[in-house]
Amino acid sequence: MTSPAPGPSPASGTPPTLLVLDAEPLPRLGRLTGRARVEHADESTLAKRLPHADVLLVWDFTSHAVRHAWPGEGPRPRWVHTASAGVDHLMCQELTDSETVVTNARGIFDQPIAEYVAAMVLAMAKDLPRTLDFQRARQWQHREGQRVAGTRACVVGSGPIGRTIARTLKALDVTTALVGRVPRTGIHGPDDLDRLMSRADWVIAAAPLTEQTQGMFDLRRFGVMQPSARFINVGRGQLVVEEALAEALDKRWIAGAALDVFEHEPLTPDSPLWQLPGLIVSPHMSGDTIGWRDELGRQFVELYERWEAGRPLLNVVDKQRGYVPGR
């Protein structure tokens, strides 16, 4: 999606102010030297600096500081970019209602997350976690693995990440159904979700967090799944009612799960999720591959150059829906 860019005023004579909500390591913005006055903020200083910024780069995409700092007196940046696919961490009603354009890092994480999902499918089908446990125990324990080819997957979320997951699973000869917000060619609507989940060997959550998707995977939904099915979440932690997933695994309603995102992060050492039977836990890393921060920085610089030239921005978020609309 593109949008007319609220670019800099050529009459001002001074470079626009680019405010960065910092996280380590800092983004590489050398290409913008002399073209942007770069300032930095953290959670404690963001509210004070917001009125003086033309552009806000949310480099610390784990922070909720924007949501808390945005309401208040004074002007606000004309453009906010977050170095993440999701935008739920920064949206508030005041930002939603404003004329500020919000963009995200759509396109950076699609293939890495799809590869992670494929890895989890193969790991669970071939019982790799227990193989490693037996190796550490020096125990020879022969088992039979599951054939992945010919199984069925239901991917919930029809954006670029969900579509890339579907393509990657199809390469493994997995029959894949995509579920989106509305039905259209090649994509099922929400009314088909229960039916598709009941037939799936793999249910993959890759949806954005919205009012409609929060808590959508609850006790009833896990009860719909086959006892041999597995669940994978690479969307948002709040898509899942974690207590319901814990009950489903404890009672063997489903065969296993893999979670890369959680309701509260980081997962605390005393969380019961660590010990759930059949659950693989990873620390929100499915999209993070070597060099990913440099990719995020380059993407933002390219967007800034479009904004600077008065060209339409890419990856513009529909602030009411909470994601970038697509096909």
Contact indicator for 317, 103 with CB cutoff of 8 Å: yes
Q: Which of 40, 284, 298, 321 is catalytic?
A: 284
Helices then strands, each counted (H, E), the chain: 10, 13
Contact indicator for 114, 161 with CB cutoff of 8 Å: yes
**Residues 6 or more apart whose Cβ sits within 8 Å of residue 142:** none
Q: Which of 39, 94, 265, 302 is catalytic?
A: 265
Reduced 3-state DSSP string for 44-65 = CCHHHHHHHCCEEEECCCCCCH
Angle of the 160-171 helix axis to the 110-125 helix axis, nearest 10: 40
At 115, list the tokens. 């590869």
Instruction: Assess whether 142 carries a catalytic annotation.
Output: no
Instruction: Assess whether 265 carries a catalytic annotation.
Output: yes
Q: Which of 163, 188, 236, 293 is catalytic?
A: 236
Instruction: Assess whether 236 carries a catalytic annotation.
Output: yes
- Rounded CA-CA distance 321/246 in Å is 30
**Which DSSP letter does residue 316 get?**
B
Q: Which residues are catalytic?
A: 236, 265, 284
